[in-house]
Structure 1
């Protein structure tokens, strides 16, 4: 929420690229190529024309990083929390599952670096992608809890040929001046040819616009708009890049391009309306800006202002802006915003900033937005009867995937939110930021979250995949949540809170039908009072226990839960004076109680692609291997906070290809990460595939944040090796 009309201290709180097809390592987003398998609950998000391939699942001679959920770490902003780092001469090679003639790569380079990334089809080089840190490394010091963020950017090109399914496309660091390049993913698409000029249209070139020459075309666009309006025609923008040096005011006009891969408006704010009647239609072009920092006092948005009635924004590619669309300055109604890609913004993707009614945001794909991906903010006047449907939101970095701030009779349905980061969660319904309070019925149905929610750096506890916040006032609306699917939530799946800490109650909320599939802490976390109905919620892989029900202030009554038909989760966290780390809890070891799972790791060194993060990814078939022939070697895991630990389970891949071996090792602990003490003295531990290639180390309970395994010998290989480093509480 970046505008200066909004309180910039929005952040006293935050926190995926479609569900992977595990067998192929591909991420397929629903589209012309087909939809993923039916979900038990939830929604599948936007229908898009591309196939997404994760770098860590492709062929590579680079180094896999992650998974890591720690704010401001490079893996934490990656899709799936994993990526691949390449040095000079290294590559990631994708095998296409469907024909394509274009590539869009999400990458990161070090601050201050730029260069080229070579693209090969088979053994033939077809071109270079420009890569730069120019649009990355954003700082928002006025937002409490924010850190430097937005490490990744995206770069695209047409391949100049149709590449068949089964072919291999490689991105490779031939230009070592760019330094290490981290590849998160690549989208491949079969792009149709450029559209021809439609009948009954006025081309901007007929009024003086000249593509690709760097000159300012804004006045030529104004002339074309005036001519088209007077003659009842469409404004046509042909193939090429046009410079819009000053914002265009539009009303009762259609502006159409040759396609989002062909027509580009280069501008930091091409459209700005102080008022409009409506019937505005923007379609089939790209908007590329030069926004490198977030300035909440400047309208650096692809569209800023009012759209009036019966307008549409469809088929746009928006990148390097502050926001995609920020609607304000007056009433807008019966809008359609659909089929757009909004990437790499320093703030929101789309925000209805009050007085937007009976409108639809549907089938948009958003990735790497610096605030809320999609937000309805009833600022000054209520947004009412709007629908956010079938969108995909990936990696919002300082807020939520989807947020409803006040308003009347709003609907959020069929969306997919993935890999949220700090200062927000997956989907939020709230009375916050002085919005017109929630009223009527708020419907949240058939949505899916994947790895949504994060550790809030201000509160120092988790934010949920779905959450309700009574920060300004107790919600009076009926909030109805149905068929929610929450997958791999790092912290809680469902949360109720008064973020202002005054104990305002939450009532008239029902969650009926939810599938919680892996959750770091609790299925339900309540930090305020009230009465909420929870029915037909099934859960598996619960990290701590079923419920946290500790109101703040503690003198208030805890929340009352009603409902029936729940399964797979039970129990309530007993000690309201402490916060558990994800996966911790009572027992030895507790079910799913591995404190090291998905935690940050470091090591004395690594061989090839066998990074330390492999030892905490929950997959015993991936492994860390230290630098060879350089004992002693060590691997350290950061548990996130001091924990009482007394047991390690160490694993090697459970494969007959791994012969029995003995590793001599000790276990060390530290509260600061600097000075370590011995928890378990050096000893030889045998790893035998006949018994699962597992060794267990027990020791006297100790309160530590950092756990280190130091290896001094290995009879099977001249290096330290671990596929899983599991740490359990005492």
Structure 2
């Protein structure tokens, strides 16, 4: 089987997720010595968030709503630049190179001008939507996603901490998320005795087809080194029969191979070592039947992959067959439309460590025990950021697996930061067995609202999806910060009610979790020791079996726990973030970031665009089909007194009148009219805003706006719908 077909499974809880923790949305140095308490990779770069930099653009977010630019951004915030606007970063470390994570509108491309200490460089950063806006309609609950991309540049000069680097939108709107600064060393020289691909006719200009030259060099260097000098090399088909050889480049910023299928082979005798170059593909969508991967299949035993830059592929490494004792370390895997790496069964003794992964379209790192158990393998000290459909790290079955000292942040849509699961997807599957060690991990803004169930997934999830969890699962020394929903989740996601047993949570710090510390929905048991929580949004524990009556989950207090001794009392409702505490901002917009639906929408102008906090994006209904309704779930019954309806403030939006009826519901089924049908004028001269007072005593959870006419366009249109308790 080629590709990552596993995510096509339709389910109550779909398995997906991943993330890098950029604390407080500011600056993170990925270069801390790997002590036990230091989660994440040691990498030669420092990331700076755009929202913490100086800008004349517009900051967007924070937002956790599926399908919005802010929700997929690192830190859930970014900066939108219109043409001529810029964001200026203060360089945090000695650097001569920058990599920028960005997004441009669908179907558009352009450039970012680059300034160093106020001087414009002749070089620019290319930006494009070509590799973004991925649709996976065969995955239940998936929406258009994968909005961001990465673009890099050698600056041609050495910068010091405190220097300034600015990027400016030259000819297209660009949303800038984060900039990575690093000091790239000089290109390495050719190893003695190696066989250069250019000696076999490879073209370093990237114009000619170098496939045959690579094959001949590999055959000639058997037992030795194939040298890939600085340059760009184009391969038009994959390499196979690769064994007992080292493929080595001058560095991942210098030696670049352009291909969407680098190695594709079902077996190898092994001892394959791939190091120090880049493989950049042209994968623009996800096709699970196509092996559009850096490595597809097997490298054979005792192999390694290190120092690689892997980008614009479907999967980085989709590993089947014999990959025993493989080491994957010190790599960057960016912008894949599916997994970053998947140990797809039978792996033994594999170590995946010290890698940086950003913007995966499925699990960033996964072990899936299909056809045979993954055994005695580990994911350690990896940094994972912005998986936009699935989990940061997912373990689907396997025996004696370790997940240690990883840093995961900003998971989205269908996943948790870490998932320990018996979801099988296909047979034969080998469930969790032996000891599963989950130790020293840090999860930031991890967990997401699952759209298939309208129910959240925790930052760390143990899931008896297709069979009972009977392994010993030790979760130790965990830090969970700013989870939008719960911290720990125990669930039988397939709806079969299988138990989750053998779990111990020993030592955890939970800060600012949106709803609960423990979300227990399966029968079974877990022991908790030394788990401390502060800033709990609703209650300490949600303990409600799924399916109803399938058996309770027993929480054993092993001592040393604090800050989460309350229980959510009503199993008929799911607690909303902050529901258990007084609202810190009584004047806040109740609709922002809440789930929105509509009777129809036009192209990318989806319902969530009207609650994303950005007045420049908008919902537009199906055209020429009045009436059309737009509905938002505020999460709980609220005394709403005032609505503010907006259209984009741009003067290009001419004045218009929309005829709107306001309705409300407390149960999501029966709606009553709050304000009868009347016309509301939107005029860019006055901000394209209309205010709708609601009668005193109005209480509603679901707010519905029905548009029956629009003098400016044959559809209903809102860029923001804001709901307030205040008149």
Taking structure 2 as the reference length, the TM-score comes to: 0.82
In the alignment, is the contact (CA less than 8 A) between 1:444 and 1:481 conserved in 2? yes
Deviates more, 1:209-218 or 1:515-524: 209-218
Cα displacement string for residues 105-160 of structure 1 (whole angstroms, at most 9, x for unaligned residues)? 11111111011110011221112111111000100010000000011111111011
2:210 corresponds to which residue?
A: 217
CA distance in 2, matches of 1:359, 1:597: 46
1:397 matches 2:388: yes
1:89 corresponds to which residue?
A: 84
In the alignment, is the contact (CA less than 8 A) between 2:197 and 2:213 conserved in 1? yes
Change (3 A) 1:3 1:601: closer
Aligned-partner SS, 2:432: coil
Corresponding residue to 1:646 among 619, 622, 639: 639
Change (3 A) 1:275 1:123: same
In the alignment, is the contact (CA less than 8 A) between 2:2 and 2:290 conserved in 1? no
CA distance in 2, matches of 1:553, 1:310: 45
CA distance in 2, matches of 1:10, 1:286: 35
Aligned-residue offset at 1:572: 1.2
Aligned-residue offset at 1:425: 0.6
2:627 corresponds to which residue?
A: none
1:29 corresponds to which residue?
A: 29
Corresponding residue to 1:190 among 183, 193, 204: 183
Which runs of structure 2 are paired with 1:244-393 in the superposition (5 Å)? 244-249=235-240, 250-328=242-320, 330-393=321-384
Cα displacement string for residues 193-214 of structure 1 (whole angstroms, at most 9, x for unaligned residues)? 1110011211111111111142
CA distance in 1, matches of 2:325, 2:269: 12
Which runs of structure 2 are paired with 1:526-605 in the superposition (5 Å)? 526-563=520-557, 564-585=559-580, 596=590, 599=593
Corresponding residue to 2:485 among 491, 498, 501: 491
1:137 matches 2:133: yes
Aligned-partner SS, 1:356: coil
CA distance in 2, matches of 1:276, 1:553: 46
Aligned-partner SS, 1:333: coil
Aligned-residue offset at 1:68: 0.9
CA distance in 1, matches of 2:593, 2:535: 17
In the alignment, is the contact (CA less than 8 A) between 1:646 and 1:698 conserved in 2? no
Aligned-partner SS, 1:310: coil
Aligned-residue offset at 1:582: 1.5
2:232 corresponds to which residue?
A: 241
Cα displacement string for residues 325-380 of structure 1 (whole angstroms, at most 9, x for unaligned residues)? 0101x222111100000000000000000011011000000000000000010011
2:622 corresponds to which residue?
A: none
CA distance in 2, matches of 1:303, 1:597: 45
Corresponding residue to 1:79 among 61, 74, 77: 74
1:691 corresponds to which residue?
A: none
In the alignment, is the contact (CA less than 8 A) between 2:487 and 2:517 conserved in 1? yes
CA distance in 1, matches of 2:211, 2:390: 34
Change (3 A) 1:445 1:4: closer
Change (3 A) 1:167 1:597: farther
In the alignment, is the contact (CA less than 8 A) between 1:65 and 1:75 conserved in 2? yes
Cα displacement string for residues 652-696 of structure 1 (whole angstroms, at most 9, x for unaligned residues)? xxxxxxxxxxxxxxxx986499999479xxxxxxxxxxxxxxxxx
Aligned-residue offset at 1:174: 2.4
Aligned-residue offset at 1:408: 0.2
Aligned-residue offset at 1:556: 2.4
CA distance in 1, matches of 2:696, 2:366: 50
1:9 matches 2:9: yes
Aligned-residue offset at 1:191: 0.5
1:473 matches 2:467: yes
Change (3 A) 1:160 1:128: same
Aligned-partner SS, 1:298: coil
In the alignment, is the contact (CA less than 8 A) between 2:353 and 2:379 conserved in 1? yes
In the alignment, is the contact (CA less than 8 A) between 1:306 and 1:332 conserved in 2? yes
1:202 matches 2:198: no
Aligned-partner SS, 1:75: helix
CA distance in 2, matches of 1:251, 1:171: 44
CA distance in 1, matches of 2:49, 2:292: 31
1:64 corresponds to which residue?
A: 59
1:459 matches 2:453: yes
1:436 matches 2:430: yes
CA distance in 2, matches of 1:616, 1:291: 29
Unaligned ranges ≥5, structure 2: 597-608, 617-629, 643-660, 677-693, 706-721
Change (3 A) 1:259 1:671: farther
1:519 matches 2:513: yes
Aligned-partner SS, 1:235: strand
Which runs of structure 2 are paired with 1:109-188 in the superposition (5 Å)? 109-126=104-121, 127-175=123-171, 178=172, 180-188=173-181
Aligned-partner SS, 2:376: coil
In the alignment, is the contact (CA less than 8 A) between 1:409 and 1:441 conserved in 2? yes
1:700 matches 2:661: no
Change (3 A) 1:54 1:5: closer
Cα displacement string for residues 599-624 of structure 1 (whole angstroms, at most 9, x for unaligned residues)? 3699xxxxxxxxxx9x999xxxxx99
2:50 corresponds to which residue?
A: 55
Change (3 A) 1:252 1:670: farther
CA distance in 2, matches of 1:669, 1:584: 25
2:95 corresponds to which residue?
A: 100
CA distance in 1, matches of 2:358, 2:126: 19
CA distance in 2, matches of 1:51, 1:600: 33
CA distance in 2, matches of 1:271, 1:315: 17
Unaligned ranges ≥5, structure 1: 603-612, 618-622, 626-636, 650-667, 680-696, 709-724
CA distance in 2, matches of 1:219, 1:167: 45
CA distance in 2, matches of 1:669, 1:54: 39
In the alignment, is the contact (CA less than 8 A) between 1:285 and 1:317 conserved in 2? yes
Cα displacement string for residues 60-112 of structure 1 (whole angstroms, at most 9, x for unaligned residues)? 00001111111001101100010111111100001112121111111111111
Deviates more, 1:497-506 or 1:381-390: 497-506
1:411 corresponds to which residue?
A: 402
Aligned-residue offset at 1:641: 3.9
CA distance in 2, matches of 1:383, 1:259: 32
Aligned-partner SS, 2:512: strand
Change (3 A) 1:427 1:100: same
Count how many residue pairs are aligned between Structure 1 and Structure 2.
638
Aligned-partner SS, 2:93: coil
Aligned-partner SS, 2:84: coil
Aligned-partner SS, 1:480: strand
In the alignment, is the contact (CA less than 8 A) between 1:11 and 1:143 conserved in 2? no
1:654 corresponds to which residue?
A: none
Aligned-partner SS, 2:167: strand
In the alignment, is the contact (CA less than 8 A) between 2:273 and 2:304 conserved in 1? yes
In the alignment, is the contact (CA less than 8 A) between 2:409 and 2:446 conserved in 1? yes
